[in-house]
Amino acid sequence: MTINAERIARDIEAIGGFSETPPDVGFSRPTFTPAWRMARDYVIAEARQAGCQVRIAPTGNVHARPASIAWETPVWLSGSHVDSVPTGGKFDGVAGVVAPLEVLRAHPEAPLELIIFAEEEGTTFNLGMLGSRAWTGTLTVAHLAGLSNRDGVSPLDAGRPYGVDAAAMVHERLDPRGYRGLIELHVEQGPAMWKAGQRVAVVTAIHGRRQYRVHLMGTPNHAGSTKMDDRADALAAAAAIMTGLEALAQRLSSRQDHTVITVGQLVVLPNAINVIPGEVTFTIDFRASTNAMLELGHDGIGQLIKAESARRGICAEWAATESLAAVPLDAGLCERLRAAARQVGVDPLPEAASGALHDAAILAPLLPTAMIFVASRDGISHNPAEFSRPEDVALGAEILAACVNGAA
């Protein structure tokens, strides 16, 4: 059996059908929900059908490898996530799960373990890559216990019906001796490859990320009887900070390309038409390709919040909720992917850097890690219009197969 683009397309469509929202609104699959379980169980059933043994780990991650290969035998690891952002696309994460699945169908004895990482996006419990961080031990059970989803439930409690086990989790640590390396296939989520007519690429680095939660406290007051000079308007302060962040990102981006800042979440209290907002909470997502730029931007963000809130008599609190360094990926494994690409007729294999974060960034310090990118139509992602050609995902799977089956 060879790698088959139609089977890959069928998998992506099937998993896309497991969503809390209809396709025209977008694909919504928060971790540890019925929609997520259906996607996970679809992959488990297909992996078993392909002759795999399957293990649901106490981290909530799912592992599948050929039944003929003992769990103790070192093999290659490949996988991604099936959780999604709210009303996102159907290729983000899913492409990186169905590609190794298809490799295991076409090569039932491949020295390859498929993994589904739990909660990569961070939009379910307000912190990303929980499954990979729990597995590498860079996230403690106590930290997980302090997180909560839209129902106020922690990933430990929400995950229990899905195999999460806090007590067992501490014994479930990635042992680098158990794997030859991690190769994560993912859609690019940016326009560069599509514009350049590149179908696949090897990813040589992943940008770093700092995330923050900002809380501004002003004075709720009457919208009619309070003159402009007498206001401490938390939302006006937030708006000024946000336009300042956009200008900061543009300045930093002119010094180092692809430096980006996003405010994605905003809560206004009391959120009433005739009340001056007294309290605002918003998030900041800051990315850059070097750690020096992450430091520079971090300082700039703090100075901006301090200055703008002081100018308006607003009390400001902010805290970093995440700090991830920029990660170079393994040069040797990237070279192995280039050789695998040559074997399947892609020569040279284009190169890319990832502005998006991936579980690969969490495992890279422990395992030789590299990524394969597949072009995204017009670079659209985290959006129901997200699209990649199944034949490009299949080409990525062929490179993955040649890499893991290759000699040495």
> Given the rule CB under 5 A, which residues bind Mn ion?
92-93
From CA 372, how far away is CA 203, in angstroms rounded? Answer: 6
Closest listed residue to residue 11, CA positions, set 397, 406, 407, 408:
397
CB 26 within 8 A of CB 383: yes
Choose among Mn ion, ligand HGY, none what residue 357 binds, the Cβ cut-off being 5 to 8 Å by kind.
ligand HGY
**Does 119 interact with ligand HGY (rule: CB under 6 A)?**
no
Size of the site for ligand HGY (CB under 6 A): 5
Query: Using CB distances below 5 to 8 A depending on partner kind, what does residue 245 bind out of ligand HGY, Mn ion, none?
Result: none
Given candidates 102, 113, 121, 279, which one binds ligand HGY under the rule CB under 6 A?
Answer: 121
* DSSP output for 105-145: HH-TT-SEEEEE-S--SSTTTSSS-HHHHHHHTSS-HHHHH
30 binds ligand HGY (CB under 6 A): no
d(CA 394, CA 6): 9
**Candidates 120-128, 221-229, 314-322, 392-400; binding stretch for ligand HGY (CB under 6 A):** 120-128
Q: 98 or 187: whose CB is closer to ligand HGY?
A: 187
Alpha carbon distance 197, 68 (integer Å): 40
Question: Among Mn ion, ligand HGY, none, what binds residue 297 when CB lies within 5 to 8 Å by partner kind?
Answer: none
98 binds, among Mn ion, ligand HGY, none (CB under 5 to 8 A by kind): none
Q: What is the torsional sign of CA 323, 363, 171, 177?
A: negative
Which listed option, ligand HGY, Mn ion, none, makes contact with residue 93 (CB within 5 to 8 Å by class)?
Answer: Mn ion
Q: Is 120 in the site for ligand HGY (CB under 6 A)?
A: yes
Check if the beta carbon of residue 269 is closer than 8 Å to that of residue 280.
yes
What does residue 134 show for φ and ψ, rounded to 5 degrees? -65, -35
128 binds, among Mn ion, ligand HGY, none (CB under 5 to 8 A by kind): ligand HGY
Q: Which of ligand HGY, Mn ion, none lies near 46, with the C-beta cut-off 5 to 8 A by kind?
A: none
Residues in 128-147 that interact with ligand HGY by CB under 6 A:
128
Instruction: List phi, psi (to 5°) of 16.
Output: -60, -25
Six-digit token string for 55: 């293990």
Query: Nearer Cβ to ligand HGY, position 66 or 396?
Result: 396
Q: Does residue 324 interact with ligand HGY by CB under 6 A? A: no
Is residue 356 close enough to count as binding ligand HGY by CB under 6 A?
yes
In the set 8, 203, 357, 360, which binds ligand HGY (CB under 6 A)? 357
Question: What minimum distance in Å lies between the beta carbon of 80 and Mn ion?
Answer: 6
| Sequential DSSP letters for 26-75 | -B---TTSHHHHHHHHHHHHHHHHTTEEEEE-TTS-EEEEETTS-TTS-E
Residues at the site binding ligand HGY, with contacts judged by CB under 6 A: 120-121, 128, 356-357
